[in-house]
Amino acid sequence: MTVLLVALGAAVGAPLRYLADRAVQSRHDSVFPWGTLVVNVAGSFVLGLLAGGTVAGAVPGSLMFLLGTGFCGALTTYSTFGYETLRLAETGAAGLAVLNVAVSATLGLGAAAAGYLLAS
C-alpha cells in the first residue's frame, strides 16, 4: 500500500512541478532558473509542514508517504537544480551559478524550518 501512496503522490507532483516551473520561468527574461527555485522552496516548505505535523502527531504516516515522499519528492528536483547550476557555470554565468546555490540552499532550508516550526 505504501508504494501506491508514493506513486500516487508522485503522479501529481511531477506534472505540477513541470507546469509550475514553466509558468514561473515564462515570466522572467533571465537565464536564472527561477522556476526550479520556486518549486524547490515551495516543496521544502510543504515537506517541513508535513514533518512537523508528523512529529506533533497530527499527520499520519500514510499521509507522509503520499504527500511527503511522493508529492514533494516529485515536485522538488535536486537533479534539475544541479544541472541548471552547472549550465550557468559552463555558459559563463559563474556568478549566477554561485548565487543559485546560495539562494536555493538558504531559502530551501529556511522554508523547511518555517514549515516545521509552524506545524509543530
What are the binding residues for Na(+)?
Answer: 73, 76
31 Cβ contact partners less than 8 Å away, ≥ 6 residues apart: 88, 91, 93, 96
Burial of 61 (0-12, 13-18, 19+ CB in 10 A): exposed
Question: CA 61, CA 65: separation in Å to the nearest integer?
Answer: 6
Question: CA 41, CA 36: separation in Å to the nearest integer?
Answer: 9
